[in-house]
Amino acid sequence: MQCQRTPEERFEDLADYPFQPHYLQVDDTEGGELRIHYLDEGSPDGDVVLLLHGQPAWSYLYRHMIPPLVQAGFRVIVPDLVGFGRSDKPTRTEDYTYARHVAWMSDWLTQLDLENITVFLQDWGSLIGLRLVATFPQRFAAVVLANGGLPAGPIPAEYAEPLKEAYASLPVVSSDELERRFRDTSGIPGMLYWRKFAAESPEMLRPGHAVFTVAGGAHTLTDAEKDAFNAPFPDETYLAGARKFPSLVPLFPDEPEVAENRAAWKVLGQFDKPFMLAFSDDDPVTAGGDRVFLDAVPGCKGVQHRTIAPAGHFLQQEQPQQCVQAILDVAGKS
C-alpha cells in the first residue's frame, strides 16, 4: 500500500494546538504498516476520554476541548484517522474501505490497551467508534454521541436503483449549494450530493473553507483556523481518504458493511452503560438521527440528553464547552 505522510512543517505554529504528537504503527491489512498519529494529554493515571473526529477534520477539531478535560483530571486521547491529520494517507481511493477503517482503529485501540473509556463520537468518528463500542463493549464506560450515527442501509431497496441512476448524472454543486441540498428533504438525499462533491469537487482541497461552509460552522473560523484544517492536504495526492469517506457510508441495503453494522446494532441493543445523545440544534447532515438510539440502546435510559446550541454539524468547533460538559456529566464528573 503506497502512502503519503504530510510534511511536519505543515503542522508548525497552528493556532491553539500546542500538543505533542504520538505515533503508533498498525497493520495496513496488506502485509505492511500504517502510522497513526494521536494526542495523549493529561495524567497517565486519569480516566480515559477518547475523542474521535470525522471527515474531513482531524484532531485539531478538539483543540478547545482538550485543556478543560485535562483540567478535570482525564487522560485525553485524540487520534487522527488514517488519511487525515498527521496519520499516514494511502494514496489510492480504493485503499480505503469501511472495514479497513474499523480494523485500523481496532488495532490502534488494542495496542494502547485502553479501558474504562468515555468516548465522544461525531460524524465518521461515530460510524467507526460505534463499531469499536460494539466490538469491545467491556473497554467502554460511557458514550456521548453527537451528530453521528450507525447507518445500515436506511434507503429502502425499492428506491436504491433509481437513486443510483440519478447519482450518476448529479451535478457537482458548490459548497454554498450543498447546505441547501441537505436541508431539502423533498428530493434526492443531500448525502448523495455530498458523495459527488467529495469525490470530484476541487473545493475539497481546502476543507477548512469548503466543508465548514456546508456544515454551518464557517462563521466561527478565523483564517488561521481554516488554514489549520487544510494543513494535512498539501495537494491532491494527500486527499484520497477525504474524497472516499462519503462513498463508504452504507446508505443502500446492498452496500458493504450493512450486515456488520446491523450486527453492531444488536450489541448496542444490550449496551446498558451511560449513552448520551448530544446532537446540535442546526445540523443539516444528521438532524433527527438521535431518535433511533433512544429506544434501541438501553444505556440511553436515565441519561440527561441535551441539544448543543447554537451549533451546526461541527459542534466541537462552535460549542466546545457544552461538549465538554456533556462528557463531564455522562462520566459523573460534573
Residues with active-site annotation: 123, 283, 313
Q: Establish whether the linkage from the previous residue to 156 is cis, with ω within 30° of 0.
A: no
CB 147 within 8 A of CB 127: no
Partners of 35 in beta bridges: 25
The full DSSP string for 61-125 is GGTTTHHHHHHTT-EEEEEPPTTSTTS-EESSGGG--HHHHHHHHHHHHHHHT--SEEEEE-THH
Using N-to-C axis directions, what is the helix angle for 190-200 and 175-183, rounded to 10°?
160
Q: Which of 315, 318, 311 is nearest to 282 (CA)?
A: 311
Three-state DSSP state, 237:
helix
